[in-house]
């Protein structure tokens, strides 16, 4: 099928790396892996972070204009299906529903969320748009299990659904894992790391809110085990960098590597010994999945999304994100038990290969879009 792809939160071509951009690119790759022809329908970023009603109305009108233009350009040769990634009241899809109505094209979305408490809040316009979009869907792919209960009542009868675990193109992970020894030697030399210490790695955007809270929770936990033998590598950058450095900048122990691309992230993680990330209010983290894919055990904050990646006691340890004592204890336990740490890392790699690869994702997404297209033809 010819699929029109749109990500209102952040275009797959956006210049600033993020988990959202990465998932959009992975979904496009999964669709192509399944034999579909995929084209980005629009790069409009519909995000509004401050609840400005006038700004949201301007964005709505801009989206409506772009929808009309898209219909005019594609009336004679419409796509076979429209696929929107991440429906959210702060970044609603102002284009896809109108295009699908005008061109009689099936409408599918991945990762939709719906927050009833926002009905009369500052994003009421976007909230209403998401509710209307949900009611028009022919198919939906659920990524975050936390969202489904609020989304389901607004789907129309017969809407096809599927559950997609987070996934990766494992070719990148395989390359990183194979080059572990070489990368570890290079990192150690460049950064002056002590090869006899356990290398911890944390990966996350440096911005206010939950990301900064995660860094602060990590700093509080590691502060409790400064008597242990570890060093910390931090991957990421952003406007809250100074606050992050204050939270986890342990003198002589922490190295800040800045923003890296996906291949570089996995190469660094493969060279390390243990992934540590509290994941405060995180649906799921691709960095966690990448770490597990290259053979790292993880200590992470317990949430439904994270638990879909880290199997507690088997591929890592899950603790309360805000429980600094428990987090510190979990890290300390794996610092002092290298055999268990390595066994968990091996189990993590095997689990990701079996359940979180591109082929598995392509099959699941393909089933949803094909069933949605068939439904719309009836």
pLDDT in tens, 189-242: 999 999 999 999 999 999 999 999 999 999 999 999 999 999 999 999 999 999
In the structure, what pLDDT confidence band is assigned to residue 263 with cuts at 50, 70 and 90?
Answer: confident
| pLDDT, average across residues 41-66 | 97
The pLDDT of residue 308: 83
In the structure, what pLDDT confidence band is assigned to residue 282 with cuts at 50, 70 and 90?
Answer: confident
User: Is the same domain home to 153 and 203?
Assistant: no
CA–CA separation, 325 and 338 (whole Å): 21
Q: Which among 79, 84, 77, 81 has a CA at the least distance from the CA of 63? A: 84
The pLDDT of residue 314: 97
In the structure, what pLDDT confidence band is assigned to residue 378 with cuts at 50, 70 and 90?
Answer: low
The pLDDT of residue 348: 97
Task: Give the CATH number, domain containing residue 150.
Answer: 3.40.50.2000
| Interacting residues of 190 by C-beta distance below 8 A, sequence separation 6+ | none
User: Is the same domain home to 194 and 332?
Assistant: yes
User: Is the same domain home to 33 and 148?
Assistant: yes
In the structure, what pLDDT confidence band is assigned to residue 72 with cuts at 50, 70 and 90?
Answer: very high
pLDDT in tens, 74-114: 999 999 999 999 999 999 999 999 999 999 999 999 999 99
User: Is the same domain home to 227 and 150?
Assistant: no
The pLDDT of residue 349: 97
pLDDT reading at 19 higher than 90: no
pLDDT in tens, 129-185: 999 999 999 999 998 878 889 999 999 999 999 999 889 989 989 999 999 999 999
Q: Where are the alpha helices (DSSP H) in the chain?
A: 19-33, 53-74, 96-103, 124-136, 148-151, 170-178, 180-191, 210-223, 241-248, 262-271, 286-293, 304-307, 324-335, 338-355, 358-377
- Name the token pair of 36: 């579909």
User: Is the same domain home to 207 and 132?
Assistant: no
Query: By mean pLDDT, which of 4-13, 30-39, 284-293 is the weakest?
Result: 284-293
User: Is the same domain home to 195 and 333?
Assistant: yes
pLDDT reading at 51 higher than 90: yes
Owning domain of residue 102: 2-167+357-377
User: Is the same domain home to 297 and 222?
Assistant: yes
CA–CA separation, 257 and 279 (whole Å): 19
- What does pTM read for this prediction? 0.84
Q: For the chain, what is the domain count?
A: 2
Mean pLDDT of the chain: 94
pLDDT reading at 355 higher than 80: yes
- Name the token pair of 160: 């096809």
User: Is the same domain home to 177 and 161?
Assistant: no
User: Is the same domain home to 278 and 163?
Assistant: no
Q: Is 43 in contact with 4 (CB distance < 8 Å)?
A: no
User: Is the same domain home to 361 and 350?
Assistant: no
The pLDDT of residue 162: 96
User: Is the same domain home to 40 and 73?
Assistant: yes
User: Is the same domain home to 288 and 216?
Assistant: yes
The pLDDT of residue 375: 81
């Amino acid at each position: 099928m010819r699929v029109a792809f749109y990500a209102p939160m952040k275009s797959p071509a956006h210049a600033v790396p993020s988990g959202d951009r990465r998932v959009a690119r992975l979904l496009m790759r999964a669709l192509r892996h399944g034999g579909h022809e995929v084209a980005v329908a629009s790069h409009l970023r519909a995000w509004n972070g401050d609840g400005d009603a006038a700004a949201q109305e301007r964005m709505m009108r801009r989206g409506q204009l772009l929808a009309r233009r898209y219909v005019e350009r594609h009336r004679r040769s419409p796509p076979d299906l429209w696929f929107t990634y991440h429906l959210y009241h702060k970044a609603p899809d102002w284009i896809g529903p109108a295009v699908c109505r005008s061109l009689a094209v099936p409408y599918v979305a991945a990762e939709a969320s719906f927050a009833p408490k926002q009905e009369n809040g500052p994003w009421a316009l976007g909230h209403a748009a998401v509710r209307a979009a949900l009611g028009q869907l022919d198919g939906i792919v659920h990524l975050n299990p936390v969202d489904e209960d609020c989304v389901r009542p607004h789907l129309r009868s017969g809407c096809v659904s599927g559950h997609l675990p987070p996934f990766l193109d494992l070719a990148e992970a395989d390359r990183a894992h194979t080059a572990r020894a070489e990368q570890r030697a290079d990192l150690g030399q460049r950064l002056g790391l002590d090869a006899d210490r356990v290398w911890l790695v944390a990966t996350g955007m440096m911005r206010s809110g939950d990301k900064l809270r995660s860094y602060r929770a990590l700093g509080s936990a590691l502060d409790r085990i400064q008597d242990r033998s570890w060093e910390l590598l931090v991957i990421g950058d952003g406007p809250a960098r100074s606050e992050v450095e204050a939270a986890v900048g342990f003198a002589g122990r922490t190295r800040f590597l800045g923003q890296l691309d996906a291949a570089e992230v996995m190469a660094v993680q493969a060279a390390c010994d243990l992934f540590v990330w509290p994941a405060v209010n995180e649906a799921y983290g691709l960095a966690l999945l990448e770490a597990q894919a290259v053979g790292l055990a993880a200590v992470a904050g317990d949430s439904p999304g994270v638990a879909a990646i880290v199997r507690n006691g088997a591929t890592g340890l899950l603790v309360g994100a805000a429980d600094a004592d428990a987090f510190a204890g979990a890290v300390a336990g794996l610092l002092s038990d290298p055999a268990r740490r390595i066994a968990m890392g091996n189990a993590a790699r095997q689990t990701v290969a079996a359940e979180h690869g591109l082929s598995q994702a392509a099959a699941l997404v393909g089933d949803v879009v094909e069933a949605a297209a068939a439904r719309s033809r009836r």
